[in-house]
C-alpha cells in the first residue's frame, strides 16, 4: 500500500475535538445553542469567561497531550511546524481585510484589528513582520525552510479558506467571534510550536531554548510580558486576545450580536483545532508504514 493510500484511509474520518468537548460538556453545548437561537441572553463577560475560555483550555490540553512534543519524531515536529506556518504567513493580510470589513460598523474594532495588523505585518521603524522573523529564525537555528510551503493537510487548506470567508463577511459580529477564536488559541498554539521547535532542535542540532537564539527571541516576543515587543507590560498574544475580547465583553455598547459572535467563534475554532488532529493522524500513519 502506498503512502497516499494510507493517508487517505487514515484521514477519511475523525471526530472534531470541538464535538467531543460538547459531548463531554452538554450543558455548555445547550447554553450555546440557546444563545444562537436567542432563547438565552448572557453578558459578554460570561461568554468569554464561562464558555469560550474553558472550552479552549480543555481542547488545547488534549492537543498538547496528543502531540506529545517532547517525544515527537523529527518528521512530526517539522511537518506540524511547516503546516502551521501557512496560516502565520497570511494572518496579517487577513487582519487588514477584516479591519476594512468592519470599519463602517465599528471603527473602534477596526482600529484594534489594524493595530494587530501593524504588529503582525511589520510597523515601519519597529520590528519586522512576525512571519519574516519566524521564517528567518527557523532557517538560522534549524535549517527549516517554510517559505512557499504548500499545505498538505486538508484541514490546513480548509482553515485558510474559511478564514478568508470570515474576514470578508458582511456581518461584523461573525468577524468578531471568528477573530476571537483565532487570537484566543494563539498563546496555546505558540507554546506548542515552541515545544516542537525545541524538540526538533534537540534532534537536529542538539540545542533547545535560549541556545536557539532566533527562535527564542520570536517566542519571547509573543509570550513574554517583559519583551521589548510587549505593550505596556502585556505580551503580544495576550494583548491581541484581550483587545478583541473587549468588544465581546462590551457587545451591547458597540452593537455586536451574541448569536453571530458564537457562530463566528465556532466557524473558526473547528478548523483551528482539527488541523492539529489531522496532523497527528498523518504523522502516525507515516510512522506505521513498513
If you average pLDDT over residues 116-120, what whole number do you get?
Answer: 84
Copy the grid coordinates of residue 169.
463577511
Residue 163's contacts (CB-CB under 8 Å, 6 or more residues apart) are 87, 94, 178, 182, 268, 271
133 Ramachandran zone, left/alpha/beta (phi>0; psi -120 to 50): alpha
Q: 202 in the Ramachandran plot: left (φ > 0), alpha (ψ -120 to 50) or beta?
A: alpha
Class of domain 16-287: mainly alpha
- Rounded CA-CA distance 65/67 in Å is 6
Where exactly are the structural domains of the chain?
16-287
- Predicted confidence at residue 240, as pLDDT, reads 77
CA distances from 286 to 3, 13, 194, 209, 283 (A): 7, 17, 23, 28, 5
- Give the predicted TM-score (pTM) of the model: 0.89
pLDDT digits (tens, 9 = 90+) for 209-227: 999 999 999 998 888 765 5
Helices 26-36 and 258-287 meet at what angle, rounded to 10?
140
Average pLDDT of the chain is: 89
Q: Which grid cell is 247?
A: 468588544
pLDDT over threshold 70, residue 286: no
Q: Which of 156-170, 208-222, 273-287 has the lowest mean pLDDT?
A: 273-287
- For residues 262 and 177, the answer to whether their CB atoms sit within 8 Å is yes
For residues 147 and 9, what is the distance between their CA atoms, to the nearest angstrom? 29
pLDDT at residue 237, rounded to an integer: 67
Asked whether the beta carbons of 110 and 99 are under 8 A apart, the reply is: yes
In the predicted structure, residue 288 carries a pLDDT above the cut 60? no
* Residues above pLDDT 90, as percent of the chain: 77
Amino acid at each position: 500500500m502506498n503512502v497516499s493510500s494510507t493517508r487517505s484511509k487514515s484521514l477519511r474520518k475523525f471526530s472534531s475535538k470541538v464535538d467531543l468537548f460538547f459531548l463531554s460538556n452538554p450543558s455548555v453545548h445547550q447554553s450555546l445553542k440557546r444563545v444562537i437561537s436567542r432563547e438565552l441572553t448572557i453578558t459578554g463577560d460570561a461568554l468569554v469567561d464561562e464558555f469560550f475560555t474553558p472550552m479552549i483550555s480543555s481542547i488545547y490540553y488534549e492537543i498538547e497531550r496528543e502531540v506529545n512534543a517532547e517525544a515527537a519524531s523529527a518528521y512530526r515536529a517539522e511537518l506540524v511546524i511547516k503546516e502551521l506556518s501557512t496560516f502565520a504567513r497570511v494572518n496579517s493580510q487577513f487582519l487588514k481585510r477584516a479591519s476594512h470589513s468592519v470599519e463602517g460598523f465599528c471603527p473602534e474594532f477596526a482600529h484594534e484589528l489594524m493595530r494587530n495588523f501593524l504588529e503582525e505585518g511589520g510597523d515601519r521603524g519597529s520590528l519586522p513582520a512576525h512571519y519574516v522573523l519566524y521564517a528567518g529564525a527557523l532557517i538560522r537555528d534549524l535549517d527549516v525552510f517554510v517559505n512557499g510551503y504548500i499545505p498538505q493537510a486538508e484541514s490546513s487548506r480548509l482553515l485558510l479558506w474559511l478564514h478568508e470567508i470570515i474576514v470578508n463577511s458582511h456581518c461584523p459580529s461573525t468577524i468578531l467571534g471568528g477573530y476571537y477564536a483565532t487570537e484566543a488559541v494563539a498563546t496555546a498554539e505558540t507554546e506548542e510550536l515552541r515545544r516542537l521547535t525545541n524538540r526538533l532542535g534537540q534532534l537536529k542540532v542538539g540545542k533547545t531554548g535560549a541556545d536557539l537564539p532566533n527562535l527564542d527571541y520570536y517566542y519571547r516576543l509573543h509570550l513574554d510580558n517583559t519583551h521589548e515587543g510587549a505593550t505596556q507590560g502585556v505580551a503580544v498574544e495576550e494583548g491581541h486576545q484581550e483587545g478583541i475580547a473587549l468588544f465581546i465583553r462590551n457587545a451591547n455598547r458597540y452593537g455586536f450580536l451574541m448569536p453571530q459572535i458564537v457562530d463566528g467563534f465556532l466557524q473558526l475554532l473547528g478548523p483551528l483545532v482539527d488541523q492539529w488532529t489531522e496532523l497527528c493522524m498523518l504523522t502516525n500513519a507515516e510512522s506505521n508504514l513498513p
